[in-house]
Amino acid sequence: MKSIKVMVNGIPGRVSSVVARHVLNDDRFELIPHALTGPEITESECNIDASTIQLILPESREQAISEIMEREGAFISVDFSLPPAVNSNAEFYCNKGLPFVMGTTGGDRKLLEDTVRSSSIAAVIAPNMAKQIVGFQAMMEYAANTFKGLFNGYSLEIKESHQKGKADTSGTAKAMAKYFNSLGTPFSEEDIIKERDPETQKNVWGIPEEYLDGHGWHTYTLVSDDKTVRFQFTHNVNGREVYGKGTIDAILYLNEKVKEGTKGTVFSMIDVLKGA
């Protein structure tokens, strides 16, 4: 079987690198040794295992991509960049006719989807590539829509821990809070307990030292008003491997859709899960 060519764009050293490594070490794929990156990047190349990736700055991307497209033929682009680049990158992929998987958050999400829908390409767009967490969110959404008030009279606690650099509250925790609201527990975003102190993370939460700089731990606890019933849901992610694996599945899914001739369509991680 011919391998699927993949170009992984974004910030070296973050999820992009995890994805690039998965692509490199998987016979089903061939990694294109070039990556579009942002204006803040000063290196001209980066290394993924024994491979060297040429980094392409925004000002040279027009010419570079033409050469790459001519040389490589069809490929899937993967985008893990930064929020300010979301819409301009999507427009770039759409203009060039490059189907893409985007895990970047932020930007104007409506415009992002509209850009793809009015283009000739298909894309998988997912702010969270961790399949199992997306699946768990979908379960919660199903319950929230189907069993309104199921947890009436229950108290809720939401705790999340992430690396020190993460300033905002976990988007997953916020989404979950909304589902729990539908399930009958009053709770606002401000009630979410955020842990960002590495000492507490290590000593109280028991988060392994090597993951203090990259983890996402979440626990939701429901207790009935008479205290006789207790539910607890936990999802703890260390490092970024799970996002890499989910992105691989998204690439495979999108590649099938491209082969089927799908155009102008936005797929979510839920589509990827269902199609797996």
Q: Which residues are catalytic?
A: 162, 166
Taking the CA atoms of residue 135, residue 139, residue 140 and residue 143 in that order, the dihedral angle to the nearest 10 degrees is: 170
Cα 248–Cα 239–Cα 163 angle in degrees, nearest 5: 135
Name the pairing type of β-strands 155-162 and 215-223. Answer: antiparallel
Window of 35-43, 94-102, 132-140, 192-200 that interacts with a copy of itself by CB under 8 A: 132-140
In whole angstroms, what is the distance from residue 267 CA to residue 122 CA? Answer: 8
DSSP 153-188: T-EEEEEEEE-TT--SPPHHHHHHHHHHHHTT----
Compute the least distance from the CB of residue 222 to a copy of itself, in Å: 8
| Size of residue set near a copy of itself by CB under 8 A | 38
Does position 276 interact with a copy of itself (CB under 8 A)? The reply is yes
Q: Whose Cβ is closer to a copy of itself: residue 103's or residue 107's?
A: 103
Residues in contact with a copy of itself, shown as a per-residue x/- string from 147 to 166 under the rule CB under 8 A: xxxxx--x------------
Q: Which of residues 232-271 bind a copy of itself (CB under 8 A)?
A: 232-239, 241-242
Does position 213 interact with a copy of itself (CB under 8 A)? The reply is no
Compute the least distance from the CB of residue 115 to a copy of itself, in Å: 28
Question: In Å, how far are 88, 199, 263 from 121, measured between CA atoms?
Answer: 16, 47, 5
Point out which residues bind a copy of itself (CB under 8 A).
130-132, 135-136, 138-140, 142-143, 146-151, 154, 222, 224, 226-239, 241-242, 273-274, 276
